[in-house]
Structure 1
Amino acid sequence: MIKLVALDLDGTLLGSDKQISSQNVEIIKKHHEKGINFVICTGRTLSEVYHIDSIKNLLPYTDYTILTNGSACIDKTGNTIFDIRINSEDVKNIHSKLDHMSMMFELYSNGKVICSEKSLKEYKDYINPDFYKLVEDTRMTVPDILKFSEDEQGGINMILASFLSNSDMKKAYEAVNTMDYYITQVGERAIEVHHSSVDKGNGISNLAEKLGINKENILSIGDSHNDLTMRKAVGTLVSMGNGIDELKDISDFITSTNDDFGVYHALNKLL
Structure 2
Amino acid sequence: MAIKLIAVDLDGTLLSSNNTILSETQRTLRIASEKRIKVVLATGRPLSGVLSYAQQLGLEGDKQYAIVFNGAVVQTISGRVLMSQELNYQDFNNMLRFQHLSHVNVHFETTKYFLTCDHDLSIQMQINAALTNNIMKVRERRDIPKNFTFNKVGFTSIAGSDQIEKLWNSLPSWAFDSYDIVRSWDSIIEINALGASKGNALMDLASRLKIAQKDVMVFGDQGNDISMFSNPEFMKVAMGNAIGDIKDKADYVTDDNDHNGIAKALKKFVL
TM-score by length of 2: 0.88
- Deviation, 1:9, is 0.3
Give 1:157's aligned amino acid. Answer: N
Inter-CA distance 93–65: structure 2 relative to 1 (3 Å threshold): same
Inter-CA distance 147–210: structure 2 relative to 1 (3 Å threshold): farther
- Deviation, 1:149, is 6.1
Q: Is the 8 A contact 1:94 1:176 kept in 2?
A: no
Aligned residues: 262
Q: C-alpha separation between the residues in 1 aligned to 2:224 and 2:36?
A: 28
Ranges in structure 2 where 5+ consecutive residues have no aligned partner: none
Inter-CA distance 149–229: structure 2 relative to 1 (3 Å threshold): farther
2:166 pairs with 1:168: no
- Deviation, 1:187, is 1.8
- Deviation, 1:172, is 1.9
- Deviation, 1:63, is 1.8
- 1:60-107 alpha-carbon deviations (Å, 9 max, x no partner): 378210001000011132211101111111111121132253221111
Aligned residue number for residue 183 of structure 2? 185
Q: Give the fraction of aligned pairs with identical amino acids, expressed as a percent.
A: 26
Q: C-alpha separation between the residues in 2 aligned to 1:89 and 1:191?
A: 19
2:144 pairs with 1:148: yes
Alignment of 1:1-271 (within 5 A): 1-50=2-51, 54-60=53-59, 63-116=64-117, 118-119=119-120, 122-124=121-123, 127=124, 131=127, 134=130, 138-144=134-140, 147-148=143-144, 150-152=146-148, 155-163=149-157, 164-174=159-169, 175-179=171-175, 180-233=178-231, 234-271=233-270
Give 1:178's aligned amino acid. Answer: W
Q: C-alpha separation between the residues in 1 aligned to 2:128 and 2:190?
A: 18
Inter-CA distance 268–261: structure 2 relative to 1 (3 Å threshold): same
- Deviation, 1:22, is 1.9
- Across the aligned residues of Structure 1 and Structure 2, the Cα RMSD in angstroms comes to 2.4
Q: Which 4+ runs in 1 deviate beyond 6 A?
A: none
Tell me the secondary structure at the aligned position of residue 146 of structure 2: helix
Inter-CA distance 140–232: structure 2 relative to 1 (3 Å threshold): same
- Deviation, 1:57, is 1.1
Tell me the secondary structure at the aligned position of residue 109 of structure 2: strand
Give 2:155's aligned amino acid. Answer: A
Tell me the secondary structure at the aligned position of residue 3 of structure 2: coil
Tell me the secondary structure at the aligned position of residue 118 of structure 1: coil
Give 2:174's aligned amino acid. Answer: T
- 1:163-186 alpha-carbon deviations (Å, 9 max, x no partner): 223332233224155321010013
Q: Is the 8 A contact 1:91 1:146 kept in 2?
A: no
Ranges in structure 1 where 5+ consecutive residues have no aligned partner: none
Give 1:134's aligned amino acid. Answer: A
Give 1:235's aligned amino acid. Answer: F
Q: Which stretch of the first structure deviates more once superposed, 160-169 or 4-13?
A: 160-169
Higher helix share: 1
Tell me the secondary structure at the aligned position of residue 170 of structure 1: helix
